Amino acid sequence: MKKHLLLVGIVAVGGLALAGCSGDRTGGGGAPEEGGEVDTSSMTIGVAMPTQQSERWIADGDNVKATLEEMGYQVDLQYANDDIPTQVSQIENMISSGANALIVASIDGTTLTDVLQTAADQDIPVIAYDRLINGTENVDYYTTFDNYQVGVQQATSLLTGLGVLDENGEETGETGPYNVELFAGSPDDNNATFFWNGAIDTLQPFMDSGVLEVPSGQTDFDQAAILRWLPETAQERMENILTIIGDTKLDGVLSPYDGLSIGIISALTSGGYSADDLPVVTGQDAEVGSVKSILAGEQYSTIFKDTRLLGETAADMVDALMHGEEPEVNDEETYDNGVKVVPSYLHESTIVTADNYEELLVDSGYYEADELK
């Protein structure tokens, strides 16, 4: 009996502690009444997305908005044209117009400290969307994909495309040497180093054994990084590399994003490669242009990250917080933003090639077959 009472006491105190840390994070709206209904239609969720220059972010914005609207919320969705001050002022406006929560896919993960302090001062919870927000305690939750694994998948598909690995990931015994060049994403995007580390850890043993060679010698992240993920910057870098390496024929290019892959392929074709002797080029996001390129036999692979799932998770996190509940997470150790480890929900990604695009992208309803023609 005593034991039972003690347990009830602990549960009650625990419950209060929980309510104390998460119960009133509903922005201007105040704490939901215990057991009471939450009027989602009176709540606005600010959604800050980086750019409309890439299809994936348009799909992300649409998915998050549609899911939140189905839950009854009003949504203020803004795109910042990859311009940091624009993103900061969009978030400021969301806060001053009374947003109850924020979902933010940052352009530069380190530039939001002040504006997120303003959000915290008004008890507005913040969800980092796909890209971690660094250097602040004022980011409550994070949802993304397993970004290290994305890099592993990019490198694995490069090795498979070259014939170094078979379809089961086993070494075929091919010794090359294969000439490859390496590209990385934007250095201000926390994901870029995760992709790079996953890819390099996978490729390094083959570089060490001489199966892979990098003819330009540019093997550091800083040399490979493409600021703001701009396709034209990747195209220029590829053109420069072709000049440096002269007649050396390339067998593969590690590219971390479809937009870069398109720039890279365009430099390669203007540099003399024809559709049937293009190197194996990887990618990420399964954007329509790149899936078409894969079907045309130009780009070799991409990584499919189902933005529908990410949108749902971000909306579920907000909805839980608005109801005074704890969002579900599945990783509480990987994403340290320099101030704290941000509790995260990670989704899984998949390698796409011409062999499996139909099942992954069309049968799943992500694209209509006609969109890819």
Provide the 8-state DSSP code for 276: G
- Give residues 294-313 in contact with ligand BGC (rule: CB under 6 A): 305
Type of residue at 264: I
Query: Is residue 285 close enough to count as binding ligand BGC by CB under 6 A?
Result: yes
> Which residue minimizes CB distance to ligand BGC?
257
Query: Is residue 194 close enough to count as binding ligand BGC by CB under 6 A?
Result: no
Binding mask 47-86 for ligand BGC (x = CB under 6 A): -------x-x------------------------------
CB of 77 to ligand BGC, least distance (A): 17
User: Residue 129 or residue 178: which is nearer to ligand BGC going by CB?
Assistant: 129
Would you state the structure tokens that stand for residue 367, as one six-digit string? 């694209």
Query: Is residue 188 close enough to count as binding ligand BGC by CB under 6 A?
Result: no
**From 257, 304, 345, 357, residue interacting with ligand BGC (rule: CB under 6 A):** 257
- Distances in Å between the alpha carbon of 211 and those of 42, 214, 248, 259? 60, 10, 16, 28
- How far is the C-alpha of 306 from the C-alpha of 348, rounded, in Å? 9
CB of 307 to ligand BGC, least distance (A): 9
- How far is the C-alpha of 189 from the C-alpha of 209, rounded, in Å? 31
* Nearest-5° Cα angle at 180, 264 to 292: 40
Query: Is residue 131 close enough to count as binding ligand BGC by CB under 6 A?
Result: yes
- How far is the C-alpha of 293 from the C-alpha of 298, rounded, in Å? 5
CB of 51 to ligand BGC, least distance (A): 7
Query: Is residue 183 close enough to count as binding ligand BGC by CB under 6 A?
Result: no
User: Residue 181 or residue 189: which is nearer to ligand BGC going by CB?
Assistant: 189
User: Residue 22 or residue 255: which is nearer to ligand BGC going by CB?
Assistant: 255
Q: Give the binding range for ligand BGC (CB under 6 A) out of 27-35, 61-69, 185-193, 291-299.
A: 185-193
User: Residue 100 or residue 293: which is nearer to ligand BGC going by CB?
Assistant: 293
Residue with tokens 């060049």: 181
* Nearest-5° Cα angle at 280, 276 to 283: 125
Query: Is residue 284 close enough to count as binding ligand BGC by CB under 6 A?
Result: yes
CB of 194 to ligand BGC, least distance (A): 9
- Distances in Å between the alpha carbon of 316 and those of 24, 31, 155, 337, 341? 17, 18, 32, 22, 20
CB of 231 to ligand BGC, least distance (A): 10
Query: Is residue 191 close enough to count as binding ligand BGC by CB under 6 A?
Result: yes
Q: Give the binding range for ligand BGC (CB under 6 A) out of 18-26, 80-88, 165-173, 184-192.
A: 184-192
Query: Is residue 229 close enough to count as binding ligand BGC by CB under 6 A?
Result: yes
96-128 as b/e, with b when 16 or more CB fall inside 10 Å?
eebbbbbbbbbbbbbbbeebbeebbeebbbbbb
Residue with tokens 């949108």: 311
| Alpha helices (H) along the chain | 2-22, 55-70, 84-96, 113-121, 147-162, 190-208, 221-224, 231-245, 258-270, 288-295, 307-322, 357
User: Residue 73 or residue 300: which is nearer to ligand BGC going by CB?
Assistant: 300
Q: Give the binding range for ligand BGC (CB under 6 A) out of 32-40, 183-191, 245-253, 263-271.
A: 183-191
**For residues 130 and 143, is the Cβ–Cβ distance under 8 A?**
yes
**From 60, 181, 189, 298, residue interacting with ligand BGC (rule: CB under 6 A):** 189
Would you state the structure tokens that stand for residue 39, as one six-digit string? 């009027």
CB of 26 to ligand BGC, least distance (A): 28
Strand-pair partners of 77: 47
User: Residue 112 or residue 211: which is nearer to ligand BGC going by CB?
Assistant: 112
Size of the site for ligand BGC (CB under 6 A): 12
Binding site for ligand BGC (CB under 6 A): 54, 56, 130-131, 185, 189, 191, 229, 257, 284-285, 305
